[in-house]
Chain A
Amino acid sequence: ETGVTQTPRHLVMGMTNKKSLKCEQHLGHNAMYWYKQSAKKPLELMFVYNFKEQTENNSVPSRFSPECPNSSHLFLHLHTLQPEDSALYLCASSPGGAGGEETQYFGPGTRLLVL
């Protein structure tokens, strides 16, 4: 399998549930990202990992917890979410490092609905 994959593609959860989103990249990249895409809002960067270290946390509520066990995998653990957290969650990867062109390649996203 090539590129960036995300599972599940669709998720419905209650506010008291705990679930995890998974992202895997097969591009040999060292940087990975979580974005949130809500209707009529710009794409919101949530977290950045570079060489497995978190380098960016854009004031994301603690009910979202990222995990990056290695450069190929990225998880987003979800617990006690709110209905306004319903959105498309996109994962991306890029070569990593500073100063370069750093094109980000995106996965297909997980469509999350919080009831």
Chain B
Amino acid sequence: GEDVEQSLFLSVREGDSSVINCTYTDSSSTYLYWYKQEPGAGLQLLTYIFSNMDMKQDQRLTVLLNKKDKHLSLRIADTQTGDSAIYFCAEKYTGTASKLTFGTGTRLQVTL
């Protein structure tokens, strides 16, 4: 079955870059997503990447996709305290119309 894994916790200093990693098992993934969840809130879509792309940049966010290793990463430049949250990666794979598989989430803590 499909499986998406993330490390549980990451701590960075304000102003540094954060890199959150994700590995997945299904090589037929079509779209891969990054969501952010702040305390007491739902999941907010940050960005997504189509599987035929290697990189996507959106302001402070850079997504890198290594299809060979089935590895996805999210880099946040100039990390701010407001970036403290849980970050989820998710994959959509061929064969299911609307189903996403989510990782366990990485809690990002930004310290001063």
Interface residues of A (CB under 8 A from B): 4, 6, 31, 33, 40-43, 45, 48, 50, 55-56, 90, 92, 94, 96-99, 101-109, 111
Contact = CB atoms under 8 A, between A and B. Distances in A.
Contacts of B42: 4, 6, 90, 92, 106-109
A71 B4 CA distance: 29
Interface in B68-111: 88, 92, 97-100, 102-105
B44 interface: yes
Nearest to B31: A101
Contacts, number: 64
B44 A42 contact: no
A106 B44 contact: yes
19 contacts: A6-B42, A31-B97, A31-B98, A40-B104, A41-B104, A42-B103, A42-B104, A43-B43, A43-B88, A43-B102, A50-B97, A50-B98, A101-B31, A101-B50, A102-B98, A104-B98, A106-B42, A106-B43, A107-B42
Interface string B32-63: 01010000111111001010000000000000
B98 A90 contact: no
A94 B98 contact: yes
Contact of B97 (A40, A43, A102, A106): A102
A99 B31 contact: no
Contacts of A6: 42
B97 A98 contact: yes
Nearest to A99: B97
